[in-house]
Chains A and B, each alone.
Chain A
């Protein structure tokens, strides 16, 4: 169990890090996501005793590590993999065996085991300088695991890898971590990496942990506008709950009324968050002269397409339906529905697809 309390670091008069209270369960993968400059690496550097905070405590294995005199002994129980790992101008074997040698330990097969686990056994006698970027990352990871550390810090270890290779390596790494039973703190700015390699997750923005929970919660029910923004919720608009029937809220957004399922009360000012993949686009029925509610979604709005842009393997539609709404559609849909800028369409989404965040608690204005 790792317990961080009142950790604070100011740098050049600017708040760099402020972690009031954070508990990390032992033997689990704790992933911190956040944008560049959020303070993720700073937190890892403090845990590895490379940086000193202004105040606070970090309890690891029952001791406040910030008060430790013997930094070396602590560092020998952890491993740190950097985003740009440094490999020594030696063979792969000599790189991986080095942590054992530095501890005065003999290699009784641990190196070969790690080389096999990370599928680099065939590169054992190759010089590190001759390896590809992906192979270098594997060597760095094998080197980090060879001493069987109790705590592993991973600082964006997949930063320069291509997507396919990254996916393979993450899958293998997850298996190896589970085998090792180590506690892992993994920081990244990539949501897909984070989702693929985490048991619990925290979102860090501007040096602060904004939300700490399971990954499903963070992505489906962000606790603040900043988190919603970071986890890719494209539509975040302000509204006021004007009526409530059971759990169903009627929210006024400009001159429109949205329906959402929430426990908030009538009169609450909220941010309305709608994920683009939850929005369905259809064409209006011109013969009937009105829209057709042919599905179970409770929210239907006449909208005009104001922009279409390719987005990964799909298209991102920016819609004006009295408020701005973003939807993802496939290339096939763009073609079949003849979607283009200026075209009138109907945007629909379920009441359960709308996530509400109460306004006013933080610096959360749009």
Chain B
């Protein structure tokens, strides 16, 4: 029990001591996850909206595939990303294996179905009267989509929170694609696993606390935006 408490004590010191190594890991984690979330939002929100609005063959099967993708095991994503990005793989020419770019790619693959699926559900939940009303008001297609996105902004924000949450906390894919190289591809989750394996529980606890704190701050910010809109109702 003592070693746990000692670990927490040292963790707090590390956390507030602004250790340069820890800060580097923190910055890389944020960079990768925020960039991956941004890309996933750019793909997922329009894709989900189009799938929800348009009628086309195999629509239900595609929705089922997206729903399956919302629960993709990160380690499987990591495995396929490694296979594709390895020197002999189809994307080997990119030379992204064991780089932050490869890690962003893996996280985009994890977050995109989540954001697509939640956006799709949000658009499908919009009252059918919306579409005729917006056309009757004289909107172009582009204006209609913009007004629609504003209409479902709270749900889109929830999708962003879910997407970010799923990738900031995952370890399997970034470990396999990034390789946990110190100073290059080491992020909070992979560093925590490594330090715990090495018996450095104080550092592992510190990293874990930082991860939790960071995740909390980002989600708090998003939640504040979401709830401030909601409060006006």
* B137 at the binding interface (Cβ < 8 Å): yes
Q: Is B129 a contact of A98 with CB atoms below 8 Å?
A: no
Chain B residues near A90 (CB-CB < 8 A): 150
**How many positions in chain B have a CB within 8 Å of any CB in the partner chain?**
17
Q: Is A130 a contact of B233 with CB atoms below 8 Å?
A: yes
Residues facing B in A127-145 (CB within 8 A) are: 127, 129-130, 143
Q: Is B151 a contact of A76 with CB atoms below 8 Å?
A: no
Q: Is B139 a contact of A102 with CB atoms below 8 Å?
A: yes
What's the nearest-Cβ distance from chain A to residue B48, in Å? 18
Residue among B135, B139, B150, B232 making CB contact with A127, cutoff 8 Å: B232
Chain A residues near B137 (CB-CB < 8 A): 98-99, 102, 143
Q: Which of A79-87, A111-119, A267-275, A298-306 sits within the interface?
A: A79-87
* B143 at the binding interface (Cβ < 8 Å): yes
Chain B residues near A84 (CB-CB < 8 A): 129
Q: Is A50 a contact of B147 with CB atoms below 8 Å?
A: no
Residue among B136, B140, B147, B233 making CB contact with A88, cutoff 8 Å: B147
Given A86-B130, A98-B147, A76:B138 Cβ within 8 A: yes
- Smallest CB-CB separation from B144: which chain A residue? A102
Residues facing B in A149-175 (CB within 8 A) are: none
Given A102-B138, A103-B138, A86:B127 Cβ within 8 A: yes
Q: Is A129 a contact of B133 with CB atoms below 8 Å?
A: no
Q: Is A99 a contact of B138 with CB atoms below 8 Å?
A: yes
Chain B residues near A89 (CB-CB < 8 A): 150-151, 233
* A203 at the binding interface (Cβ < 8 Å): no
Q: Is A88 a contact of B151 with CB atoms below 8 Å?
A: yes
- Smallest CB-CB separation from A85: which chain B residue? B133
Q: Mark A213-247, 1 if CB is under 8 A from B, else 0.
A: 00000000000000000000000000000000000
Residue among A50, A72, A129 making CB contact with B233, cutoff 8 Å: A129
- Smallest CB-CB separation from B140: which chain A residue? A72
* B132 at the binding interface (Cβ < 8 Å): yes
Other than the given A76-B138, A85-B133, A98-B137, 20 more pairs (CB < 8 A) read A48-B136, A50-B132, A50-B135, A50-B136, A72-B138, A72-B140, A75-B138, A79-B136, A80-B136, A84-B129, A88-B147, A89-B233, A90-B150, A98-B147, A99-B138, A102-B138, A102-B143, A127-B233, A129-B233, A143-B137
A-B contacts, 14 of them at CB < 8 A, read: A50-B135, A72-B140, A76-B138, A80-B136, A82-B132, A82-B136, A86-B127, A86-B130, A88-B151, A89-B233, A98-B137, A99-B138, A127-B232, A147-B138
Residues of A within 8 A of B (CB): 48, 50, 72, 75-76, 79-80, 82, 84-86, 88-91, 98-99, 102-103, 127, 129-130, 143, 147
